[in-house]
Amino acid sequence: MAEEVTVIGDNITLDLLLWRRFGIRGQGLLEEALELNPKLSWQEAFLAPGSIVRFPTLPPAGSADRAVVSLFG
């Protein structure tokens, strides 16, 4: 089930909400969040106070393959 929050302050963006909720792992969730919130659009930078935003479900940690870089040999 998706979590919902109500925007209270001014100058709040969707990516800021994702960052506050999920930290660095929320970077890849912007498109999915826009799909869950069809009333939000790319054209409006700031969310109106009182807007209800649904968060997507965060994928489990370690689900993406990452390349390992060695700096010392």
Sign of CA pseudo-dihedral 16, 21, 27, 28: negative
Phi, psi (deg, nearest 5) at residue 21? -80, -45
The structure tokens listed for 51 are 């807007």
CA 72 – CA 61 distance, rounded (Å): 27
pLDDT at 53: 93
Q: Within a domain: residue 35? A: yes
- What residue numbers bound the domain in which 13 lies? 3-55
CA 17 – CA 26 distance, rounded (Å): 9
pLDDT at 70: 86
Q: How many domains does the chain have?
A: 1
Q: Within a domain: residue 71? A: no
Q: Within a domain: residue 18? A: yes
- Point out the residues of the chain with pLDDT beneath 70: 1, 42-43, 62-65, 73
Q: Within a domain: residue 21? A: yes
pTM (two decimals):
0.74
pLDDT at 64: 58
